[in-house]
């Protein structure tokens, strides 16, 4: 089909679209199916199995056996993955490129995209009311637990960004935390950042505050599995219940401040919880302020995420909005650090 529309004859035919426009839109449609193929490959362990097989690759029968999946479905996935350049099918054996596998599977990379695909697909399972939202403004209200589990996969990238990009910008904080201190993660989700922090800074004590019941249960389970119950405490509460003034050396919000019903009050409470010399750090993915910034791959992704946010009654925020929340809360103007990944840090010291 592409060959026909891409010919010079196609360009001159007024009943056919511009081949570039057609090609671009067709790629987007393919991208929709590609996202599903990636999601299936991640959730069913297909990419993991292929990576383990290395250069030998696997036949689809071997892949189905290794992942305990349905043979016919894996036959389809194999040639579809090849068509979408997610793997290469040659002489009946399927191989995954190491770079593709790393970008989709390695959670400690700042360019880890596996969580983005899981979140993108899982979030859209809830979009049956999206048309209604556009007509009436009615938001989704409650989301199923699977959504927050997917968020935990998504924010694995945030954790990589924090450790590799953010800490490189904060040498003083690293030096202080290495000596010990108390740290709180506000709306900690499944607690993965707390666990990573506990490992990186063996002398600190940590608290995770989270208000969603299923996330609290996951966070407590992960902490227990890691044997860190003596250093990490998970408290079920909203940020407004963070009532230990002057206690913490670091209060952290990861991809959470913009979702709070009252971000200003959240910041004020967080600030009061800081000990003298303590730091308030917000890591988030700001909404571009400049239309040009939307016209990038990153901007396309942010636009999709914002669709999901608005539908659930929350919103991403611009850098200016984050700064204005600090001002409204009566806090000092935070240092704004734009990180290479596209995330931003807002840092205020008490």
Positions that interact with ligand SAM (CB under 6 A):
151-152, 155, 158, 187-189, 210-212, 215, 238, 254-256, 259-261
Number of Cβ atoms within 10 Å of the Cβ of 92:
11
Give the nearer residue to ligand SAM in terms of CB position, either 86 or 159. 159
Burial letters 220-253, b for 16+ CB under 10 A, else e: bebbeebebeebbebebebbeebeeeebbbbbbb
Q: State the minimum distance, in angstroms, from the CB of residue 124 to ligand SAM.
A: 16
Contact assessment for residue 97 and residue 43, using Cβ atoms and an 8 Å cutoff: no
The Cα-based distances of 123 to 115, 149, 158, 289, 306 in angstroms read: 12, 11, 18, 25, 12
Cα separation, 345 vs 348, whole angstroms:
10
Q: State the minimum distance, in angstroms, from the CB of residue 341 to ligand SAM.
A: 14
Give the nearer residue to ligand SAM in terms of CB position, either 271 or 285. 285
Give the nearer residue to ligand SAM in terms of CB position, either 38 or 209. 209
Cα separation, 127 vs 105, whole angstroms:
26
Contact assessment for residue 250 and residue 278, using Cβ atoms and an 8 Å cutoff: yes
Q: State the minimum distance, in angstroms, from the CB of residue 266 to ligand SAM.
A: 8
Give the nearer residue to ligand SAM in terms of CB position, either 77 or 252. 252
Give the nearer residue to ligand SAM in terms of CB position, either 22 or 211. 211
**Structure tokens given for 159:** 């954790």
Q: Which residues contact 206 (CB under 8 A, 6 or more apart)?
A: 182, 183, 184, 185, 194, 197, 198, 231, 232, 233
Q: State the minimum distance, in angstroms, from the CB of residue 67 to ligand SAM.
A: 27
Nearest residue (beta carbon) to ligand SAM: 189
- Local structure of residue 260 (DSSP, 8 states): S
Give the nearer residue to ligand SAM in terms of CB position, either 49 or 195. 195
The DSSP H or E segment spanning 257 is none
Q: State the minimum distance, in angstroms, from the CB of residue 123 to ligand SAM.
A: 11
Q: State the minimum distance, in angstroms, from the CB of residue 282 to ligand SAM.
A: 11
Give the nearer residue to ligand SAM in terms of CB position, either 63 or 161. 161
Q: State the minimum distance, in angstroms, from the CB of residue 223 to ligand SAM.
A: 14
Contact assessment for residue 229 and residue 196, using Cβ atoms and an 8 Å cutoff: no
């Amino acid at each position: 089909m592409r060959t026909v529309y891409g010919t010079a004859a196609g360009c001159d035919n007024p009943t056919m679209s511009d081949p570039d426009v057609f090609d671009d839109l067709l790629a987007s449609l393919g991208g929709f199916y590609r996202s599903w193929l990636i999601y299936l490959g991640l959730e069913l362990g297909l990419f993991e199995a292929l990576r383990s097989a290395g250069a030998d690759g696997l036949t689809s029968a071997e892949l189905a056996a290794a992942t305990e999946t349905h043979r016919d479905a894996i036959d389809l996935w194999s040639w579809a993955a090849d068509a979408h350049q997610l793997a290469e099918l040659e002489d009946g054996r399927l191989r995954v490129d190491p770079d593709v596998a790393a970008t989709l599977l390695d959670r400690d990379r700042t360019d880890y995209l596996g969580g983005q695909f899981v979140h993108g697909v899982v979030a859209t399972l809830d979009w049956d009311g999206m048309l209604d939202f556009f007509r009436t403004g009615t938001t989704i209200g409650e989301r199923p637990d699977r959504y927050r589990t997917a968020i935990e996969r998504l924010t694995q990238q945030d954790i990589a960004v924090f450790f590799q990009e953010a800490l490189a910008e904060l040498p003083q904080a690293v030096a202080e935390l290495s000596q010990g201190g108390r740290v709180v993660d506000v709306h900690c989700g499944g607690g993965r950042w707390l666990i990573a922090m506990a490992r990186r800074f063996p002398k600190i004590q940590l608290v995770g505050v989270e208000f969603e019941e299923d996330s609290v249960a996951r966070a407590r389970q992960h902490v227990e599995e890691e044997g860190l119950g003596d250093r990490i405490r998970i408290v079920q509460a909203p940020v407004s219940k963070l009532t230990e003034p002057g206690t913490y050396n670091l209060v952290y919000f990861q991809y959470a401040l913009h979702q709070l019903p009252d971000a200003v009050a959240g910041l004020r409470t967080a600030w009061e919880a800081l000990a003298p010399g303590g730091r308030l750090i917000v890591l988030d993915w700001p909404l571009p302020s400049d239309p040009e910034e939307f016209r990038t791959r990153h901007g396309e992704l942010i636009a999709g995420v914002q669709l999901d946010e608005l539908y659930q009654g929350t919103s991403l925020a611009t850098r200016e909005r984050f700064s204005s929340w600090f001002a409204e809360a009566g806090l000092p103007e935070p240092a704004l650090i734009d990180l290479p990944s596209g995330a931003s840090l807002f840092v205020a010291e008490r």
